Amino acid sequence: MIFIVLGLYSFTQLSVDALPDVTNNQVQVITTAPNLATQEVEQFITYPLETEFKSLMDMVELRSISRSGLSVITIVFKDNVPINIARQRVDEKINMASDNIPRQYGTPELLPPTTGLGEIFQYVLVPEKGYEKKYDLTELRTIEDWIVRRHL
């Protein structure tokens, strides 16, 4: 009987959401360095930052992507760490690592806190009226790959 009462009480205390946030507790750091190749981004930006981040308390996972002109590092924390505390810890490590990153290569920045639901972006590339016949699907794909994607 006591288990039924506890079960009913627990059921009334559950939060109900149409789209629950299932994103892990993460902080992202981005650095843009438009003049650097992928290997240079890894060597001069991503590696020094990762080296600092490895000593963060309550860190679960560290992921990074280095591309031409861009470094994105994702630090995943334990679920019980408040996001503002996690962001503060990462910001402190960024300040420490900035001494090892030449100024002309860019400044690491924290990305705004996001959820897994907010990271999806979809778009359609359509020619303006009057230009529908000028571009075929292959040309639109080329424009998307070489112009639009780089601006996003």
pLDDT at residue number 63: 93
CATH number (3.30.70.1430, 3.40.50.150, 3.40.630.30, 3.40.50.1100) of 22-119 reads 3.30.70.1430
Domain ranges within the chain, ordered by starting residue? 22-119, 121-152
The neighbour count for residue 119, using CB atoms within 10 Å, is: 9
Q: Is the pTM of this model over 0.75?
A: no
pLDDT at residue number 131: 86
pLDDT at residue number 120: 61
3-state SS assignment for residue 74: strand
**pLDDT tens for each residue of the chain, 152 residues long:** 899 999 889 888 877 766 666 778 899 999 998 889 999 999 999 999 999 999 999 999 999 999 999 999 999 999 899 999 999 999 999 999 888 888 888 899 998 887 666 556 667 888 888 888 888 888 888 988 898 888 87
Residue carrying structure tokens 């630090």 = 75
Residue carrying structure tokens 């705004």 = 112
pLDDT at residue number 20: 66
3-state SS assignment for residue 18: coil
73-83 pLDDT, tens digit per residue, is 999 999 899 99
Residue 108: CB partners within 8 Å, gap ≥ 6? 29, 30, 31, 45, 49, 71, 94, 97, 98, 101
